[in-house]
Amino acid sequence: MNIGIIGAGNIGATVAKLFAQAGHQVAISNTKGPESLKQLVAEISPNAKAATVEDTIKFGEVILLAIRWTQRNSLPNAQLFENKIVIDAINAYATDGDGNFQPAPLGETTSSEEILKLMPGARLVKAFNTMYFETLQTGGSSIPEKRLVLFIAGDDSEAKEVVAHLIEDIGFAAVDTGFLHEGGRRQQPGSPIYNAPMTVDQAKEITA
What's the whole-number average pLDDT of the chain? 93
State pLDDT tens for residues 33-70: 999 999 999 999 899 999 999 999 999 999 999 999 98
Q: What is the pTM of this model?
A: 0.93
Match domain 2-207 to its CATH number in 3.30.70.100, 3.40.50.720, 3.10.129.10, 3.30.300.100.
3.40.50.720
Sign (positive or negative) of CA dihedral 29, 30, 31, 37: negative
Q: Evaluate if residue 170 carries a pLDDT over 90.
A: yes
Q: Evaluate if residue 96 carries a pLDDT over 70.
A: no
Q: How far is CA 146 from CA 132, 139, 161, 192, in A?
A: 18, 9, 21, 20
Could you give the CA distance from residue 181 to residue 22 in angstroms, rounded to a whole number? 31
* Domain boundaries along the sequence of the chain: 2-207
State the average pLDDT over residues 7-24.
Answer: 97
Q: Evaluate if residue 97 carries a pLDDT over 70.
A: no
Q: Evaluate if residue 80 carries a pLDDT over 80.
A: yes
Could you give the CA distance from residue 110 to residue 10 in angstroms, rounded to a whole number? 23
Q: CA nearest 152: which of 137, 139, 162?
A: 162
Give me the pLDDT at residue 203, please.
93
Could you give the CA distance from residue 120 to residue 1 in angstroms, rounded to a whole number? 23
Give me the pLDDT at residue 138, please.
95
